[in-house]
DNA sequence: ACCTGAACACCGTTCAAGT
DNA sequence: ACCTGAACACCGTTCAAGT
């Protein structure tokens, strides 16, 4: 308080040097402030007070930016397991956590489908999944493929959730109308169905069911334990 | 040959009136000619010799255009089943056909994840899936949810296939490098894994395994037959 | 050597104004 | 009443030119 230091013209601290880490930081800020649909090369560059061209020195393309960001988001996940919690419960919990992370950011969830996230936190997640599957007695080949299947399911489910939430009721009404228009002669089974089953249901319960289906299926399709 | 009729100034036949059907036709032409990444409102409009604004009279937005197109693509699928072929084989076949359809068009596959396709062919597909699941002894609730799960898996798998194919080896090399960088102290299970299992494997075999996992899981999580 | 301004080639969607 | 030109507000990526 005793002295006034000269202030730079901008409140923002002196332009930090560019780096992969600085870009991911900026991307995270943009994501939290403006939402996933605004997570573009141009906006991240603007956040760093530069032009979009500068990012291409550190990131191959938009997909690369997403891969980096997904790994960064993964950092907030609890990935510990001491073996006390039963493996199936632990698996449900980590997948639900991951789904929650992605469901708030639909564009990122879509990215997670086509990108192998690149970074240390992703490895931590894969490690936990492999440990849980090993505890379940799943053989190596099935475990490796199951990791892919589980993560793919979570990403797809998150993208679907988020998309539906964004569209609110509109699209669901379209679907209900389509289903209701089923001609009993052309679609006898469908017409005999309780269409509420197809479009409704508590997503939490549905998703827990889906994960149990995946787990049971993997167990059924794994070589006998110890093989 | 005996007489020459006057030709309109453009080779293209006189501008047909706009309609939902005309738009889907044009979209299909654009898709086949320019590929999925060029399937935009503007290009479809150009194909119809009009401005993009005109499409909005018939289609809510780009997502709506995709929903229409997916249903149209579904028309080429063989959806017959006389009960002779075992239900599990028939299920594998129709899902593989659908996956093949989408894998050639990654952008469409991504669309299929967030859109409920809208139209008669989609209903035919759902009808077949429900018939097959009923033949498998799956109860109504499980069947309804299984349809969602199976179609979601196929769309996600197709999107993944296509994306990987487009990126060629580049991203796969990145992933291998990331996996190889696993520190045995931090990721002991991962480090002990044959990393080839995680990144490689014949996609056909992997996907057949995945579908079997889903089927077996659904059977395990379905109420006893007839319930 | 490293970085980036400016340009290129696009997008989806809206709305005021036309026929 | 129906349709659409033109505009608005953006995109990703490249590359020649700057420091």
pLDDT tens string A33-63: 998 889 999 999 999 999 999 999 999 999 8
**What 3-state class would DSSP assign to A72?**
helix
Tell me: the pLDDT tens digits for B50-77?
999 999 999 999 988 998 999 999 999 9
Give the residue-averaged pLDDT of B66-94: 95
Whether A52 sits with its Cβ under 7 A from any strand C atom: the answer reads: yes
Residue A64 lies in a domain: no
Domain presence at residue A54: no
Integer Cα distance of B105 and B77 in angstroms: 15
- pLDDT for A79 beyond 80: yes
Residue B2 forms part of a structural domain: no
Tally of domains in chain A:
1
Better pLDDT: B113 or A97:
A97
- pLDDT at residue B196 is higher than 80: no
What is the pTM (predicted TM-score) of this model?
0.89
pLDDT, tens digit (0-9, with 9 covering 90-100), for A80-119: 999 999 999 999 999 999 999 998 888 888 888 877 777 8
Closest nt by CA–C1' to A57: C3
Task: Count interface pairs A-B at CB distance under 8 A.
Answer: 171
- Residue A4 inside a domain? The answer is no
Percentages helix, strand, coil for chain A (3-state, rounded to 5) are 65, 0, 35
B residues 54-83 lying closer than 8 A (beta carbon) to A: none
Domain with residue A161: its CATH number is 1.10.357.10
Q: Domain of B132?
A: 79-220
**Is residue B71 assigned to a domain?**
no
Q: What percent of chain B has pLDDT over 70?
A: 86
C-beta separation of B23 from B65 below 8 A: yes
Nearest CA of chain A to the CA of B45: how many Å? 24
Average pLDDT, stretch B9-34? 79
Q: Flag whether B11 is in a domain.
A: no
Examine residue B60 and state whether it is found in any structural domain, yes or no.
Answer: no
Dump pLDDT digits (tens) for A185-201: 999 998 888 877 777 67
- DSSP-assigned letters across all residues of B143-209: HHHHHHHHHHHHHHHHHHHHHHHHHTTHHHHHHHHHHHT--TTT-HHHHTS-HHHHH-S-HHHHHHH
Nucleic strand C near CB of residue A40 (< 7 Å): no
Residues with CB under 7 A from strand D: A 38, 40-43, 51-53, 56, 61-62; B 17-18, 50-54, 56-57
Residue A158, domain member (yes or no): yes
């Amino acid at each position: 308080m005793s002295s006034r230091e000269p202030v730079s013209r901008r409140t923002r601290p002196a332009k930090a040097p560019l780096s992969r880490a600085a870009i991911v930081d900026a991307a995270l800020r943009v994501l939290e402030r403006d939402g996933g649909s605004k997570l573009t090369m141009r906006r991240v560059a603007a956040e760093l007070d530069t032009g979009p061209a500068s990012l291409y020195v550190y990131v191959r393309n938009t997909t690369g930016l997403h891969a980096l960001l997904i790994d960064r988001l993964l950092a907030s996940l609890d990935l510990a397991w001491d073996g006390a919690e039963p493996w199936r419960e632990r698996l449900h919990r980590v997948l639900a956590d991951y789904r929650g992370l992605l469901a708030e950011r639909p564009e990122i969830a879509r990215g997670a489908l086509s990108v192998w996230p690149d970074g240390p936190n992703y490895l931590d997640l894969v490690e936990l999944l492999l440990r849980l599957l090993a505890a379940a007695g799943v053989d190596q080949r099935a475990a490796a493929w199951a990791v892919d299947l589980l993560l793919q399911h979570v990403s797809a489910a998150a993208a679907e959730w988020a998309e539906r939430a964004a569209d609110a009721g509109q699209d669901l009404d379209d679907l209900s109308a389509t289903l209701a228009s089923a001609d009993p002669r052309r679609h006898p089974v469908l017409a005999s169905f309780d269409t509420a089953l197809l479009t409704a249901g508590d997503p939490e319960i549905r998703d827990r069911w889906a994960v149990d289906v995946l787990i049971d299926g993997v167990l059924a399709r794994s070589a006998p334990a110890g093989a």
